[in-house]
Chain A
């Protein structure tokens, strides 16, 4: 796109404050910023593509794992729906924030950003509730998968399971290879289910030496013969990877919106210059877009 103003009149033009020296018009700069952000969002979509592909491959070839996980009600549809609603509304509020910025309603802009922050944080709180429930019930990935009967009969260890929850949650959130956790990966999983010591703990052997790559079904809970589904840990491997990576992106989004809020409070955004608001808005919408697909795929497998 070439500049419309010819060379001579440009020189005489007084340079608007927020226009970078290498751009000619504000329109050009805004469109460049939007296109640049969209390209970055394309990479975010492709980053999640890897996880959606892993989900598709393992659901296509081992559907019984996913139906078993649904039938056992490992994931609560209620909390999933609440999260979806939270993100949708937060998507609306940030779109409204863009509208307010464009119309110079600076007060409303601040309120909309605060609302988005609140809804986003609500999403994370619900995620925390879900994760601690998973960890408490021993529904973890890999060798950590040792489901106990849910709820009743386990109040006594509730406290230490709770402490484990923090360790495991931190683990789940920073599973992106924070090598600080490198030294005792298996313990975080194993110690989470203190009541499982007596059960036969399938010792994870590296390489194919495991029994043909098959993990024992959840031995702790009474399963009918046909429900003896093996390798259910794959479901939770994918669940924690997808929701964990998505959770990280929600946190990054909240930080960006907080930065917007601080600038908005300082009155940096006027009708003439408000570009950061739609840019962060676009990022937040993609985070919501990914959840729109995650929710039915993980929670509604009927």
Chain B
């Protein structure tokens, strides 16, 4: 992580990297095409619910990386910036995955509760078998 910025100091050095305009335009075009594919896939491609979700997420991630790399100059910045973004995304994933696993594990408790008819509660209900 130690990035010692050793460079000659000169008057009015231009800070930050110049991303050429044509590259920006190209990235925009790719983004629009990808959006078109995502929306189009609703009617043309059907990989089942989870398949469609996965495809949509992959396309969205590609679009996201393109925006981050070129529009946000991530590709030309110091590695610490990429580390910050990746750390944030890692903790988003950690939080979501653990919440998913846990809610998945105890979901039966909720569905059992909802399956029981409230009015029958006064009688000795043993609808809950297991």
Report Cα–Cα, A34/B84, bound state, in Å. 12
Select from chain A the residue with minimum beta-carbon distance to B119: A211
Please state if A95 and B19 are interface contacts (CB–CB under 8 Å): yes
Please state if B16 and A278 are interface contacts (CB–CB under 8 Å): yes
Report A53-88 residues with CB < 8 Å from chain B CB.
53, 56-57, 60-61, 63, 67, 77, 81, 84-85, 88
Find chain A residues with CB under 8 A from B9 CB: 4-5, 13, 25
Q: Contact check: which of A281, A289, A297 meets B68 at CB < 8 Å?
A: A289
Looking at chain B's contact residues, the main secondary structure is helix
Please state if A292 and B32 are interface contacts (CB–CB under 8 Å): no
Interface membership of A128, Cβ < 8 A: no
Given contacts A89-B28, A212-B116, A289-B67, contact A99 B99 (CB under 8 A): no
Q: Contact check: which of A30, A45, A95 meets B71 at CB < 8 Å?
A: A95
Looking at chain A's contact residues, the main secondary structure is helix
Interface core residue of B6, B20, B42, B68 (most chain A CB under 10 Å)? B42
Report Cα–Cα, A73/B100, bound state, in Å. 27
Find chain B residues with CB under 8 A from A301 CB: 53
Total contacts A to B, CB within 8 angstroms? 169
Find chain B residues with CB under 8 A from A34 CB: 16, 77, 81
Q: List 27 A-B contacts (CB under 8 A).
A: A1-B3, A2-B4, A27-B7, A30-B15, A30-B16, A38-B81, A39-B84, A43-B88, A45-B89, A46-B92, A53-B96, A56-B96, A57-B99, A91-B28, A92-B28, A95-B71, A96-B21, A211-B118, A282-B72, A285-B71, A285-B72, A288-B67, A293-B60, A295-B60, A296-B60, A300-B41, A300-B56
Please state if B68 and A285 are interface contacts (CB–CB under 8 Å): yes
**Bitwise interface map of B from 25 to 50 toward A, beta carbon under 8 Å scored 1, else 0:** 10110011001001101100010010
Please state if A92 and B14 are interface contacts (CB–CB under 8 Å): no
**Bitwise interface map of A from 1 to 15 toward B, beta carbon under 8 Å scored 1, else 0:** 110110000000100
Find chain B residues with CB under 8 A from A77 CB: 39, 42
Report Cα–Cα, A77/B35, bound state, in Å. 12
Interface core residue of A95, A275, A300 (most chain B CB under 10 Å)? A95
On A, residues with C-beta under 8 Å from B are 1-2, 4-5, 13, 16, 25-28, 30-31, 34-35, 38-39, 41-43, 45-46, 49, 52-53, 56-57, 60-61, 63, 67, 77, 81, 84-85, 88-89, 91-92, 95-96, 99, 102-103, 211-214, 271-272, 275, 278, 281-282, 285-286, 288-289, 292-293, 295-297, 300-302
Least CB distance from A231 to B in Å reads 9
Find chain B residues with CB under 8 A from A99 CB: 18-21, 24
Find chain A residues with CB under 8 A from B3 CB: 1
Please state if B114 and A212 are interface contacts (CB–CB under 8 Å): yes
Pairs A-B, 8 closest by C-beta atoms: A296-B56, A30-B15, A42-B88, A49-B92, A92-B28, A212-B114, A1-B5, A53-B96
Find chain B residues with CB under 8 A from A92 CB: 24-25, 27-28, 71
Please state if B64 and A293 are interface contacts (CB–CB under 8 Å): yes
**Bitwise interface map of B from 49 to 73 toward A, beta carbon under 8 Å scored 1, else 0:** 1001100110110011001101111
Interface core residue of B20, B53, B70, B104 (most chain A CB under 10 Å)? B53
